[in-house]
């Protein structure tokens, strides 16, 4: 018998490292919720391993990493490596939000980040990007 | 990934496979029933504890400390935390994971958030199936955490062997405790935040309420414990009570009886789901629900007559098959 599937886009909003500001993460969490996504918020000051654990266990379609501290070049690749270790990298859309200088963008994309959204990006743009690029599973 | 591979990987202890299996269960993806059916023979070894209570009563913090204690005792833990979803967009913020600090990076605590997704009765089926995945994976203890707000949540915690209800200090007068609902389902009552004023009074009120119960003498006597989840105070004795309840279930033969009841409930739920799908198909075949309802709107017929109309051929069909 065909059962109606009830797929929702699941998204982890992650604060990694030492920066102590999560207003932006809260705003994006709320916007994603209003867009009909299921959002898991990591809380502040998480280690890359904690983000990997959450992303793997929650089986999220999207991992949104919010970084303001400038430590993206060290922290993001660690998260990517962790996801690879659990075979969770290939079908997870990884986006980074926050302060990322232009000269770092290419490197992050090479490391496996699918998109980077700087300050002032309209919320709709991020949501649209997720809807269009989320992996079709099952 | 094909279902048999997913099952093999899950049984082999691969976290990704467990996570993916739960997603399929949650999404009711095609073939999810085969998946659950394949996991079924590997279940039945875990102790399942349900935790409920009003928002802000400290459930997540207590669950975090429980998981830590279990891990210290060398046991593996699975947690399913259910949060409400928006009735308008279906979106949800699943915020309980944030408090699992004591066991961060410990992969032997598998924590999974689930949203209610507004589905009628479907939540308890999905939760029970997700618990089966954790059970088959080999978790020793499985905790289901849910906000005790409505019938949906009550159904969810009833899928547990042992149910703990958190009652914050000063959560109302003794009439609140007399009201039907969530207080009836507890095997253990936890007055959390017991360092706050009003805690002693709440404990007394709970005990009075429980004394008034007219139970069978063979029934389990619900216990009242006090905890301060923040500091971990009282958590060890709380877990001892949970263990005592699990032992009682075995010794009294209630575990078997409860399992039988649960299997019956599960069967009924599945059939209800299937039947309602049959009815939906039938409505579509008759031009869709809106068309039928327009005749009701216009006063030409009533919902009762239409329902009879739709169900009659189904009932006839079943009748003939049985003979």
- For the sheet with B47-53, list strands across it: B109-115, B77-83, B141-147, B47-53, B162-166, B188-191, B223-226
Q: In this predicted model, what pLDDT tens digit does every residue of B61-95 receive, in sequence order?
A: 999 999 999 999 999 999 999 988 887 888 888 88
Give the pLDDT means over successive 10-residue stretches in chain B (323 positions): 90 96 91 95 95 88 96 97 85 85 91 80 83 98 85 78 90 68 85 89 88 82 94 96 96 93 89 90 92 94 95 92 82
Residues B127 and B80: their CA atoms lie apart, in Å, by 8
Chain A, chain B: beta-carbon pairs less than 8 Å apart = 108
Residues of B in contact with A137 (CB under 8 A): 23
Q: Which helix (H) or strand (E) holds B211?
A: helix B199-211
Query: Which pTM value belongs to this model?
Result: 0.89
Nearest to A57 among B24, B110, B122 (CB): B110
Q: Is A34 on the interface with B (CB under 8 A)?
A: yes
> What is the predicted pLDDT for the residue at B85?
84
- Residues B18 and B10 sit within 8 Å (Cβ to Cβ): yes
Asked if residue A78 lies in contact with residue A48, where contact means CB atoms within 8 angstroms, the answer is: yes
* Secondary structure (3-state) at B188: strand
Q: Look at residue A6 and tell me whether its pLDDT is greater than 80.
A: no
Residues of B in contact with A4 (CB under 8 A): 28, 277
How far apart CA B309 and CA B302 sit, in angstroms, is 11
Out of B30, B97, B107, the one facing A40 most closely (by C-beta) is B97
Contact indicator for A93, A128 with CB cutoff of 8 Å: no
The packing angle between helices B303-322 and B289-297, to 10°, is 130
* pLDDT at res. B143: 97
Q: What is the pLDDT of residue A102?
A: 93
**B277–A1 C-beta distance less than 8 A:** yes
- B95 to chain A: which residues are within 8 Å by CB? 40-41
pLDDT for B322: 86
Length of chain B: 323
Residue B112 to chain A, least CA–CA distance (Å) = 5
Smallest Cα distance from A6 to chain B, Å = 5
Query: Which residues in chain B are closer than 8 Å to A5, comparing Cβ atoms?
Result: 27-30
For residue range A71-117, what is the model confidence (pLDDT) as tens digits? Answer: 999 999 999 999 999 999 999 999 999 989 999 999 999 999 999 99
Q: Provide DSSP, A88-122.
A: -STT-EEEEEE---HHHHHHHHHHT--EEE-TT--
List the beta bridge partners of residue A96.
A65, A116
- CB atoms B117 and A40 under 8 Å: no
A23 touches B: beta carbon within 8 Å: no
Q: Is some CB atom of chain B closer than 8 A to the CB atom of A85?
A: no
Q: How far is it, in rounded angstroms, from Cα A111 to Cα A2?
A: 40
Residue A33 to residue B29, Cβ atoms within 8 A? no
Judged by CB atoms closer than 8 Å, whether chains meet at B94 and A39 is answered as: yes
- To the nearest whole angstrom, how far is the Cα of A108 from the nearest Cα of chain B? 24
Chain A positions in Cβ-Cβ contact with residue B105 (cut-off 8 Å) = 47, 49-50, 53
User: DSSP of B62-119, one letter per residue?
Assistant: HHHHHHHHHHHTT--EEEEEEE---TTT--EEE-SGGG--TTTT-TTEEEEEEE-TT-
For B226, the 3-state DSSP assignment is: strand
Contact A41 B89 (CB under 8 A): no
**Scanning every residue of chain A, which has its alpha carbon at the shortest distance from the alpha carbon of B270?**
A3
Residue A127 near residue A31 (C-beta atoms within 8 A): yes
Which residue of B15, B94, B274 is in closest CB contact with A40? B94
Report the pLDDT averaged over residues A37-65.
Answer: 95
B226 class by beta-carbon count within 10 Å (0-12 exposed, 13-18 middle, 19+ buried)? buried
Pull the structure tokens for residue B1: 């990934």
For residues B170 and A30, give the distance between their C-alpha atoms in angstroms, rounded to a whole number: 32
Identify the pLDDT of residue A21: 87
Interchain CB distance below 8 Å, A35 and B91: yes
Phi, psi of A63 (to 5 degrees): -115, 115
Q: Chain B: which residues have CB within 8 Å of chain A? A: 15-16, 19-20, 22-24, 26-30, 32-33, 85-86, 89-95, 97-98, 104-105, 107, 110-113, 115, 117, 119, 122, 273-274, 277
Residue B105 C-alpha from the chain's centroid: 25
Of B191, B187, B244, nearest in space to B210 by CA: B187
Residue A16: Cβ within 10 Å count: 23
Query: CB of A52 within 8 A of CB of A86?
Result: yes
The answer, yes or no, to whether residue A2 has pLDDT greater than 50, is no
Q: Which of B16, B26, B95 sits opposite A41 (nearest CB)?
A: B95
Chain A residues with beta carbon closer than 8 angstroms to that of B107: 53
Length of chain A: 138
Q: How far does the CA of residue B25 sit from the closest CA of chain A (Å)? A: 10
Q: Quick one: closest CA in B to A43, which residue? A: B98
pLDDT surpasses 50 at A120: yes
Q: What is the pLDDT of residue A138?
A: 58
Q: What is the pLDDT of residue B150?
A: 66
Q: Could you give the count of Cα atoms lying within 13 Å of A96 in the half-sphere of its Cβ?
A: 28
The reply to whether A53 touches chain B by the CB within 8 Å rule is: yes
Contact A94, A112 (CB under 8 A): yes
pLDDT of residue B269: 84
């Amino acid at each position: 018998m065909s059962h109606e599937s009830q797929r929702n886009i699941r998204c982890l909003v992650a604060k990694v490292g030492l920066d102590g500001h999560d207003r932006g993460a809260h705003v994006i969490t709320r916007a994603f919720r209003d867009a009909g996504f299921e959002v898991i918020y990591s809380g502040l000051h998480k280690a890359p391993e904690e983000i990997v654990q959450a992303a793997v266990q929650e089986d999220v379609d999207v991992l949104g990493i919010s970084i303001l501290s400038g430590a993206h070049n060290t922290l993001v690749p660690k998260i990517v490596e962790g996801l690879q270790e659990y075979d969770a990298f290939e079908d997870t859309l990884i986006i980074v939000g926050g302060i990322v200088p232009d000269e770092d963008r290419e490197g992050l994309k090479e490391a496996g980040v699918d998109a980077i959204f700087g300050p002032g990006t309209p919320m709709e743009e991020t949501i649209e990007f997720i809807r269009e690029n989320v992996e079709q599973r099952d | 990934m094909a279902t048999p591979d997913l099952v093999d990987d899950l049984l082999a202890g691969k976290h990704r496979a467990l996570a993916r299996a739960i997603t399929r269960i949650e999404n009711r993806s095609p073939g999810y029933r085969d998946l659950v059916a394949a996991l079924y023979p590997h279940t039945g070894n875990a102790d399942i504890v349900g935790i409920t209570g009003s928002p802000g009563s400290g459930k997540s913090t207590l669950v975090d400390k429980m998981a830590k204690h279990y891990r210290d005792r060398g046991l593996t833990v699975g947690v399913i935390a259910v949060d409400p979803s928006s009735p308008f967009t279906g979106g949800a913020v699943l915020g309980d994971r944030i408090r699992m600090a004591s066991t961060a990076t410990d992969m032997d605590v598998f924590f999974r958030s689930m949203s209610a997704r507004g589905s009628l009765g479907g939540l308890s089926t999905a939760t029970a199936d997700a618990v089966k995945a954790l059970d088959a994976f080999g978790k020793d203890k499985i905790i289901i955490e849910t906000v005790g707000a409505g019938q949906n949540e009550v159904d969810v915690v009833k899928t547990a062997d042992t149910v703990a209800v958190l009652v914050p200090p000063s959560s109302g007068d003794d009439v609140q405790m007399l009201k039907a609902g969530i207080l009836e389902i507890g095997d253990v009552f936890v007055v959390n935040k017991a360092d706050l004023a009003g805690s002693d009074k709440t404990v007394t009120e709970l005990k009075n309420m429980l004394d008034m119960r007219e139970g069978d003498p063979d029934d389990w006597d619900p216990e009242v414990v006090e905890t301060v989840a923040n500091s971990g105070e009282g958590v060890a004795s709380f877990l001892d009570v949970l263990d005592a309840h699990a032992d009682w279930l075995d010794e009294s033969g209630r575990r078997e009886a409860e399992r039988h009841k649960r299997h019956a409930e599960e069967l009924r739920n599945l059939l209800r789901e299937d039947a309602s799908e049959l009815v939906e198909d039938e409505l579509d075949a008759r031009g869709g629900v809106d068309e039928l309802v327009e005749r009701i709107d216009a006063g030409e017929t009533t919902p009762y007559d239409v329902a009879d109309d739709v169900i009659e051929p189904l009932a006839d069909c079943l009748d003939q098959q049985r003979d």
